[in-house]
Amino acid sequence: MIKDYCGSLDYLLHLASSAPSQENCLLGCAVTQETGIYCIEDYCRLEDLGEESDCISLHVPQSVLWCLLDVCNCRNSIPIVMHTHCKGSPYYDPLKFSQQDEFFMKSLSHFAWSNFGIPQCLAILSNDREYIYKSYDSCEVAHHDK
């Protein structure tokens, strides 16, 4: 379950409907209240950090990810990557994570655990009507990568 204290999910749904021909990305921090409940506390839009996206892919620079992980580490929170797929994408309707999404999140989770000791990362995917989410256990990912 997701509790959104900062309006990020509404904003992501808005981006999906107002800019359906491009992928949109938000980065954020969440805390867990109890097992399976994630509370989003803060977010920023990737484009607000000077990065651009298109319909084919998103590129999140390593320096931006490093800052996100550093902030999450200081706040004792979980990093979140929230994004949309372009309308017409095979992952838009029905809504599902792509293989590229899975690879990116597993790599981020491994990096978060290896460099910051952050035990978990969260991915949220949205179209203009709904969102889905998936948790990535950094410890487990790091263990399986060995």
How many structural domains is the chain composed of? 1
Q: CB atoms < 10 A from the CB of 46, how many?
A: 22
pLDDT at 138 over 80: no
pLDDT at 58 over 70: no
Residue of 58, 55, 60 whose CA lies nearest to 86: 55
Domain CATH code at residue 94: 3.40.140.10
Identify whether the C-beta of residue 141 lies closer than 8 Å to the C-beta of residue 110. Answer: yes
Per-residue pLDDT averaged across 90-98, rounded? 88
User: Which residues span the domain enclosing 37?
Assistant: 2-145
**Residue that wins the pLDDT comparison between 27 and 63:** 27
Which residues, 6 or more positions from 66, have their beta carbon under 8 angstroms from its beta carbon? Answer: none
Alpha carbons within 13 A on the beta-carbon side of 111: 15
Q: What is the pLDDT of residue 144?
A: 41
Which residues, 6 or more positions from 88, have their beta carbon under 8 angstroms from its beta carbon? Answer: none
User: How do residues 28-42 score in pLDDT, each as one tens digit?
Assistant: 999 987 777 899 999
pLDDT at 60 over 50: yes
